[in-house]
Structure formats: structure tokens, C-alpha cells
Amino acid sequence: MTQAPQELTVGVGAGGLATADMVLNIGPQHPATHGVLRLRIVLDGERILSAEPIVGYMHRGAEKLFEVRDYRQILVLANRHDWLSAFSNEIGLVLTIERMLGMDVPERATWTRTLLAELNRVLNHLMFLGSYPLELGAITPMFYAFREREDLQAVMEEISGGRMHYMFNRVGGLRDDLPAGWLDRTSAAIDLVRGRLPDLESMLIGNEILHGRTRGVGVLAPELALEYGVSGPIARASGIDVDLRRDQPYLAYEELFAKGGPGRVVTRTEGDCLARLEVLLEQVHVSLDLAEACVDTLRGLSAGPINVRLPKVLKVPEGDGYTATENPLGFNGYYLVSRGEKTPWRLKLRSASFNNVAVLRELLPGTLLADMVAILGSTFFVVGDVDK
């Protein structure tokens, strides 16, 4: 954190002393583990007067790179903008392409995709459940969160070969069939994580210091969230009952969120930092329930193909299409425009973190500098997802 040399306004305070607003640049070094972000903050003493998120330090032009790669190659770019949600990033893109092709994907591929997407959601949330307390000064929850992550990472790595960028989706299905015994190991990992989650929960929900730093801090009104396009757990913590898995179902979510199914939408009404953390924590339980239901369904499906055979040169018919998915951090949308060639003419990415960070200019003014990190961390963003 560095202090900029300029002074914005000068006035006369109590006792005739000259006062000046101070400009601080938070970043662009890594604030905790979020990535290269810069906040330009104007302070009056300890009080924040204004805050401007300055993004673009990690921008790599992914949307232009999409245009010079064929439909098989762009998957390797699509899964990298939110590196904590790589599998979910791939889902939105392949669904967009498959819908424009009019392609029917094998049922086993659909249920496996749903299973892996929910495991990826748990991995994403566990990272923030460990890193957020760390930003507030508590180191122990990070160790517990990573212990649970490792159990799930093991089954994700076994099926895909990757620990971070899975590259397991393909247009028309998945790269490979399930390894022998993989469903049993996945079920065991889900049970293990579920059984040990109370250890992590007790450090968060029952922590008086964490409550003191987060309750009533950084309250996001639902009207403001809608105005800025905030989505995902942050919006639902403000009482916005929206989840694309239920409201615009894709993959196998229509069945999972049907009446009597394990799917449910987690919301809170307080809209503060604590509410956002609680939503994330409860969503881990819901995702584990969804993953378990997917495992049970896959056990009952008969053997069959896991993908669709593609032509040597894959071309998408001329036209356009948009697909939005409920990524772990919020809405993730791909708008594809094709001219009937083997590469996209235009592929626009709508990522969740950009909107979730933009609202900081409204959340931070009026708060104390000491609360800045608590509010910043509770917006649960990945900078690569902001900059693309």
C-alpha cells in the first residue's frame, strides 16, 4: 500500500490546523491472493471518501485470441480467466457451440459434466472460505480449507489429468470416459469432505472476531446490486433470489432443482460481509448434495458413449447464440457470432467478477480504512475474471 504524493482538497480543521484529503493506491501488487488489482482511495482521516477500482493489469486480450483459433482450440483459453472455476468456464462455451450446431450430447456426458461442475464449485468456494479469514488475520481456516480441497482435487486430477486447468470438456461431450472405480472414489471424497466441514464452520460461524469485522460491514442493497449487474453468491446474500441452474436450467439441473430434488438456492437478506460468507459456506453443502445425486444417477446409467464424433474440420453454422451459466462467482456468458467458418467471427465473454468488483466504488465510500480489506475480500472475485 503506497501513498500518492498529491493532495486533493485543503481546508481548516479544528484549532485552525490545515487538513488535506489523502490519496492512497491500494495495489497494484497482490492484495492477499486475488491478483493484480489497484484501488485508488481518497481518505479523510480514517474515513474513505471515494474509491475507484482500476483494472486491466492482467488483461491479455482473450476475446481477440478466440477469433484466431478454431472451436477446439479456444477451450484452452476459455478455462483460464477464472482460474478457480476452470471446468465451469469450459461448460458455457461448449454449450453455446453445441446449441448452434444442434448437437445432442450423450446423457452420460451431461450428468458427468454436472457432477464435475459442482465439484469445481466446491473447490472454488473452499478457496475463498480459507483465504477470506486469512485477510482478516486468521491463518488456521486456510489449512482446513486446503485439506478438504485436496481430497476433491485428487478425483478431479484423476479424471482430467489437471489440477487447475482441467481441459476435460470437448464439443459434443467429454474427452475420456470415467476411469474404473472413479465414482466410488468420488463418493468417498464427498463423504469425507462433508464429515469434516463442521471443523471449518466452527472457525467461521462461531468466531467472535470474524463476526465483529464482518457483521453490518459493507452492506450491499439489492437495488444497487441489480444496477451494477452483480450476480452469484454476492447478489444472493443481498436477497436477490436468482440462480441460473434453477431459473434457466442447463446440463442436468432441471431435474436436480425439480420439486423434491437436492437443488436449492441459498439466500440471505442482510447483504453484509458476513452474509456473503454464510452464503458461500451453505452453498458448499448444497453442491455436495448435487454432486452426490449425480454420482447416484451415473451409477444407474448403462454404458454408452461419452462424446459425439466430430468432423475433422469443425465449422459452426452462420448465426449467433448466447449461453449464460451459473459459475461459482456468478453469471458467466458467451456470445458467439459465426460466419460459418472454423473460427468464431466474434466471441464475447461476460464474466462475473467484473461487475462484482465495479460495485466497490459504491460499497467503500463512507467506511473506515480498516474495513476496506474485509469488504474487498467479501466480493469474492478473481482478477483474471475481471480483466480477461
- The pLDDT of residue 59 is 84
Reported confidence tier of residue 11, pLDDT bands at 50, 70, 90: low
Determine the average pLDDT of the residues in 297-320.
94
- The pLDDT of residue 99 is 96
Q: Computed from CA positions of residues 378, 382, 387, 388, in that sequence, does the dihedral angle turn out positive or negative?
A: negative
- The pLDDT of residue 205 is 87
- The pLDDT of residue 16 is 62
- The pLDDT of residue 1 is 43
Q: Write b or e for each residue in 286-310: b if 16 or more Cβ atoms lie within 10 A of its Cβ, otherwise e.
A: bbbbbbbbbbebbeeeeeeebbbee
User: CA 65, CA 344: separation in Å to the nearest integer?
Assistant: 10
Average pLDDT, the chain: 91
* Nearest of 110, 170, 89 to residue 333 by alpha carbon: 89
- The pLDDT of residue 388 is 82
Domains of the chain as residue ranges with CATH: 64-351 (1.10.645.10)
Reported confidence tier of residue 13, pLDDT bands at 50, 70, 90: low
Residue 9 carries which side chain, given as an amino acid letter? T
Reported confidence tier of residue 14, pLDDT bands at 50, 70, 90: low
Is pLDDT above 80 for 237? yes
- The pLDDT of residue 142 is 93
Determine the average pLDDT of the residues in 253-264.
94
Percentage, residues of the chain above pLDDT 90: 77
Determine the average pLDDT of the residues in 295-302.
95
Range scoring the smallest mean pLDDT among 72-81, 166-175, 193-202? 72-81
Reported confidence tier of residue 18, pLDDT bands at 50, 70, 90: low
- The pLDDT of residue 30 is 59
Determine the average pLDDT of the residues in 213-218.
94
Is pLDDT above 90 for 61? no
The more confident residue out of 117 and 45 is 117
- The pLDDT of residue 2 is 43
Determine the average pLDDT of the residues in 53-60.
86
The more confident residue out of 7 and 339 is 339
Is pLDDT above 70 for 4? no
* Nearest of 341, 334, 349, 345 to residue 315 by alpha carbon: 341
Determine the average pLDDT of the residues in 270-286.
96
Determine the average pLDDT of the residues in 189-212.
93
